[in-house]
Structure 1
Amino acid sequence: MIYFLLAIYSAVFMSFIQVAGECFPVKKSFLFRFSECNYCQKKLAFYHIIPIFSFLFFRGKSRCCERPIPIIYFLMELVTPIYILLLYIQFSFSYSFLLYYIIYYFLAFFFITDIFYLYVPNSILIVFFCVLATIAILYNQTLMDLIYSGGISCLF
């Protein structure tokens, strides 16, 4: 049961991260609004935005205007539950699980904004750094470990 809930939750959260990654750089609200078609801006019903299943059910096309939905949405919503489940199998609910979970979603946000706009907002990078620094301090990680992991992540 926990695997099922983790898979559903992670796919839904990735769907939100994708919307945030698309809207944040252009200063468009993404918290309290209805989802809309990327092409015709028609509001979408709840069953049009179910992660993974709606893409498969509608054969990768928008329900309202029949234009293709970018495959990146489907791939991210498919890969994320797999990754989160593998994290859970490896670490259960531990410090490492939480750390990798947070890092994954931040990197997914950066990936989405980079794919769509070739831009990663500095404000989110600063939040990412502060979150990682706080986690490192709370869990007594050495400063060198933080610098090393930050340097490695810059490669991606």
Structure 2
Amino acid sequence: MNEIKVESIFVVYDNLKELPSSVQQLMQKASDARDKAYAPYSKFFVGAAILLDNDEVVTGSNQENASYPSGLCAERTAIYYAGAQYPDAKILKIAIKAGSTKSITTKPIPPCGACRQAIAEYEVKQDNPIEIYFMGETGKVVKSHSLANLLPLLFDKSVL
């Protein structure tokens, strides 16, 4: 028997003001997208903004449905739109802002498992890491240099 040790390294910023100005602007676009979320059931609103290597910014928000599996998270809404509209562009950065109307969210909210897998597909496809920044409504912002930090032991096309 062998063991595998998996380590992830993240950068934690105490607040938005510590981020580079370009990332602050991307996070603002994620915040604006969050305002457009449709979340009448969970009351949990998420916005995502994606910076592409062609300088386009694509945004998305979560869209719920009474038939719960039919909804879609903000990250996948944005990444699938980016893939459809700009299939040759590389994704450089993703900013995610999340919060609830039930309570103030101060803990950084990372992408869910399904979104991690969707982001992984694009990171593998473009053979280039994607920086991911995520936060709650206020407070700390976490930066991952690559999706691989959030989803080690990746399931991708190499296993098919």
Asked whether the two chains share a fold, i.e. TM above 0.5, the reply is: no
Larger radius of gyration between Structure 1 and Structure 2? 1
TM-score (norm 2): 0.26
Higher share of residues assigned strand = 2
Higher share of residues assigned helix = 1
